[in-house]
Every structure is written in structure tokens, then in C-alpha cells.
Amino acid sequence: MNIDIDDILADLDRDTTAVDSSLISQAHNDTTILGSDGDEINKLRQITNVSPVEDFQTLMTHWRNERMSPELLPFPHLLMQRTLRRVQEQIEHIEMLSMGYLDDASGSADTADGRSAALMSKLPLLGMEADLERLKFVLRSFLRCRLAKIDKHSLYLRQFSEEGAAIPLDELLSRQELEYHERHFAILLKLLNNSILRHLPPELQAIDDNDGSVKMVEEPEWSRFVFVFVNGPDPRRQQDPDPRLLVSETTGQQFYPVTIEELQEEAELAIGGIYVMRYNVVRELILENKVQLI
């Protein structure tokens, strides 16, 4: 007779090793996706549960998605705020520590014992500096990638600010990016105007003319193929079952159904699988953080 006591054991585990389990189980956390469909309770819990480790993991996901997606993804405002603050604090922390070493070195440099102690305790400092550089690299690469996309789609992005668009521009871009976008566009427009556009007849002077033989506003390549990894729903949110998640009848595996409109075809994205898909097919799942780009 087998009694399944896994849930009781899990309860005990949670009480005794609370820190570890929170680190492991929150690996796929979408703490800071703005406008995600999480209700109030979820949001509260997400905010209380932030930790540097999972923030970094979320940042990595955002970075990868941004690098591979054809469109500009919404800016993770809260995540970036937290991360930038931490970078600042860490820099100050490292400087404070290294001042401590200075004192140590002047005081007890002569004794061999003190020197080795100073050497030993430099390892954490090295680790901190290397780790800080790593984080800064990811941040820089992320922002540069976004700037490249803003350059490319500046005409397209202007449409967001002009009309009543689906996403307001200040949610899509950060404050600095918004400023970059506006000023860069103004400079570019000035250059074009001064060099050629003023020599053209007035009806040809618009640079966002979509009625001509070729569209001038370049939209993102919505149907570009991307590699996706299906990571499935957040393991912590088992209690509210995902309505989009279906269970296959033949294999018993969980999958997301997606429809490829051009071919009128249904496809199944099994959890844990890697697929090559058109971006517009999986776009919503990416924004909900159910699949990631790789």
C-alpha cells in the first residue's frame, strides 16, 4: 500500500529551507512586465518577491528577447530602475571596501601574516568587480540593441505618438530613449531637408509617405522566423490554471495551440520544446513570457 506523501514533504521542505526554495522556484519570473495580465494579488506578490538573482535572470530574458525579436519590445521600467540602483550601490560598496584595504595595507604591510590575509580577502573584491562588469555589459548591450531598433523604426514609432495607438510611446520607451528618439529624428529630418528634400516639389517632400509605389515607413518584419523555447507557465502559479494551455490527447503533454494565419494551420508548442516560428505567430506568448526567443 503506497501512500503518496509528496505534498506533506513539500510542505516541510518549504518551512525549513525557505530561502533556497524561493530562489529555485522563482527562476522564470516575469516580475516587471508592465501591462501583463496579472491581477492585484499577483502583482503584490511579485513586488514583494523581488531578489537580485531573479532580477538578473529576468534581465537576461529581456536581453535575449530584445536581441532576437524584429520589433521593439516594451521597456521594463521597474526592472531597470531596480537594476540601475543596484549597480550604483554596488559601485559605492566596492569603493568603500577598497578604502578599507588601503588602511590595512599601510597598517600591517610588514608582517607576512597580515599580507596573506589581505591577499585572501581580495578575492571577494575581484569577484564583485568582475560580476559588476558582467551586469554592466548586459545592460549596455540591451540598451544599445534598443537604440539600434529605435534608429531603424523611428518613422514607425512616430505613428505611436501621433494617433491613439495600442501602446503609448512612453510605455514602449524609457525617458532617455524617448528623448533620443525625438532629437535623433529631428536631426535626421533637418539633414534630409537641407540636403535634398527642399529641392523637390512640395508633394514629394514628406518622408513618411505611404501612398506612393513603395511604402516609406518601415514596419518591423512581423513575419520573420525566430527560434523560440517554450518555457511554460510560471511554476508558482499552478493555482490559476492557464486557459491557453491545453493537454494533448495523444501524448499527454502540455502545449500551447497557435494558429498560423497564412497557411490556416494549427501548430502545437509543447512545453520544453524548441521551434522555429514566425514572430507574429508567437508574439503574444512572448509578451506573456510563456516562450522565450533564443
Partner 1 sequence: MSYYDIDDILADSTKVPCRFNYNIPGLGYLEGNIGQDIKKNAKVELPLWLGRVLAIVGGDSESSGLEDDEALSFIELITPELLAPRVINAIKSGPVSLDVRSINSHFYALAVKWATLFNDRNLVEVLNYMLLERSQEIRNHASSTDLDNLAQGRDPSTFMLTLDEFEKVIYRSSHESCKDMKQWMVQK
Give contact residues for partner 1 (rule: CB under 8 A). 213-218
Q: How far is the CB of 216 from partner 1 (least distance, A)?
A: 5
Q: Which is nearer to partner 1, 213 or 264 (CB)?
A: 213
Instruction: In whole angstroms, give the CA distance from residue 158 to residue 156.
Output: 5
Q: How far is the CB of 219 from partner 1 (least distance, A)?
A: 9
Q: How far is the CB of 217 from partner 1 (least distance, A)?
A: 8
Q: Which is nearer to partner 1, 89 or 208 (CB)?
A: 208
Q: Which is nearer to partner 1, 121 or 141 (CB)?
A: 141
Exposure on the CB side of residue 263, measured as CA atoms within 13 A: 10
Q: How far is the CB of 141 from partner 1 (least distance, A)?
A: 17
* Owner of C-alpha cell 573584491: 125
Q: Is 183 exposed, middle or buried (0-12, 13-18, 19+ CB in 10 A)?
A: exposed
Q: Which is nearer to partner 1, 147 or 155 (CB)?
A: 155
Q: How far is the CB of 253 from partner 1 (least distance, A)?
A: 30
Q: Which is nearer to partner 1, 13 or 218 (CB)?
A: 218
Q: How far is CA 145 from CA 8, 172, 272, in A?
A: 47, 14, 27
Q: How far is the CB of 188 from partner 1 (least distance, A)?
A: 12
Instruction: Give which of 62, 35, 70, 36 is closest to 282, Cα–Cα.
Output: 70
Q: Is 271 exposed, middle or buried (0-12, 13-18, 19+ CB in 10 A)?
A: middle
Q: In what order do the strands lie in the sheet with 291-293?
A: 274-278, 225-230, 291-293
Q: Is 55 exposed, middle or buried (0-12, 13-18, 19+ CB in 10 A)?
A: buried
Q: Which is nearer to partner 1, 133 or 218 (CB)?
A: 218
What single letter denotes the amino acid at residue 208?
Answer: D
Instruction: In whole angstroms, give the CA distance from residue 94 to residue 97.
Output: 5
Q: Which is nearer to partner 1, 62 or 153 (CB)?
A: 153
Q: How far is the CB of 19 from partner 1 (least distance, A)?
A: 36
Instruction: In whole angstroms, give the CA distance from residue 253 to residue 14.
Output: 28
